[in-house]
Amino acid sequence: MTDETARREASQAFPFEVDFGEELKGAFFLEASGMDDEAPVIEYRSGISPVFSTIKMPGIANYRNITLKWGRVTNCSGFWKWIGEIKMNTVKRRNILITLRDIDNGSVRRQWLLHNAWPTKIVHTELQADGQAVTIETLELACENLSINMSS
């Protein structure tokens, strides 16, 4: 089975393909949430303003943690080494690309790029002897910035 065939089959079962960086490709998840950003409103009134009200302006953008659910990782050793770096407080922040693929033909529908992201929480599934279990139940990622690419 070629890499392209394997990726197409995985994208039919797991529509979110996650690229954690050069050596950590080949992760697939069923669900992804938290891909939104917020700019809080800052109200300001100059001390010399003749108007007795504030002006509103956008504040510093902040981003929620991204949650990926029900996933599997094909390059396990590199992924678990990266997760292990959290415990040693030496985790390398990465630019992570989350791609939503069309379940029919595998084409890219939308992409989210997480800038300077790192894992904050991982929940494992229960172990099962049949080998068909999903590897990761929940993976939570913190990021400093988020950009979205809408494909046509």
List pLDDT tens digits, range 68-84.
Answer: 998 877 666 777 788 88
pTM: 0.77
Q: Which two tokens stand for residue 72?
A: 């599997």
Q: How confident is the model at residue 52 (pLDDT cuts 50, 70, 90)?
A: confident
The per-residue pLDDT for 97 is 93
Q: How many CB atoms neighbour CB 24 within 10 A?
A: 20
List pLDDT tens digits, range 105-138.
Answer: 878 889 999 999 999 998 887 766 665 545 778 9
Q: Which of 46-55, 78-87, 97-106 has the lowest mean pLDDT?
A: 78-87
The per-residue pLDDT for 152 is 53
- The Cα–Cα gap between 15 and 88 comes to 32
> Is 126:134 a contact under the CB 8 Å cutoff?
no
Share of the chain above pLDDT 70, in %: 83
Tell me what the mean pLDDT of segment 21-40 comes to.
85
Residue that has been written with the tokens 């002897």 in this structure: 129
Q: Indicate if the pLDDT at residue 151 is higher than 80.
A: no
Considering only residues 45 and 8, tell me which one the structure prediction assigns the higher pLDDT: 45
